[in-house]
Amino acid sequence: MFIRPLVFHDRSKILRLIEGTGTFNEMEILVAEEVMDDALRHPEKGDYYIFSAVDASDSPNGYICFGPIPMTQDRYDLYWIAVDKTASRQGVGGKLLEFMETNLLKKGARRIYVDTSSTPPYKAARAFYEKHGYQLVCVLDDFYREGDHKMIFMKEL
């Protein structure tokens, strides 16, 4: 596995990968698509850093998107991380997370935040973040809709 910056020909494969997880809803997939398109059209803005984990044939089997939190100092958000079901449980997600953390340490980052849902489809994501040292720091009740709380995890670098 190799991790490299997102390129245009990754786009459709990553969108299929996101859809194939069965975790993200239609609105979330549309937002992921918009973020990818913005990053590909305007890489100079630096709002989003997007990387693909690719296999030996240069086909994406995972991706990660992160960026600086506006109006903060040395704080970053992990916006998206997804792994193809065929590569699940093979360490791809952990390697993407480690890649991001190493990259952000070089940029002087102090904290990484990640938001997720409290609903059952996101249970594995919450366990993944905790396994990798992210701590639950805040819960915003009924944030997304009634009964769907926003859970904010944070890792101090």
Tell me the pLDDT tens digit for each residue of 85-94. Answer: 877 777 899 9
SS3 category, 139: strand
Q: Is the pLDDT of residue 153 over 80?
A: yes
Confidence at residue 116, expressed as pLDDT on a 0 to 100 scale? 96
Q: Is the pLDDT of residue 36 over 80?
A: yes
Tell me the H-state helices in 2-156.
Answer: 11-21, 26-41, 92-106, 123-131
> Over the chain, what is the mean pLDDT?
94
pTM, full prediction: 0.92
Confidence at residue 105, expressed as pLDDT on a 0 to 100 scale? 97
Confidence at residue 95, expressed as pLDDT on a 0 to 100 scale? 97
- Domain annotation for the chain: domains and CATH numbers: 2-113 (3.40.630.30)
Strands lying side by side in the sheet with 148-156: 2-5, 49-54, 60-68, 75-83, 111-117, 148-156, 135-145
Confidence at residue 126, expressed as pLDDT on a 0 to 100 scale? 97
Tell me the pLDDT tens digit for each residue of 100-144. Answer: 999 999 999 999 999 999 999 999 999 999 999 999 999 999 999
Q: What is the C-alpha separation between 37 and 144, in angstroms, rounded?
A: 24
* Average of per-residue pLDDT across 50-77: 95
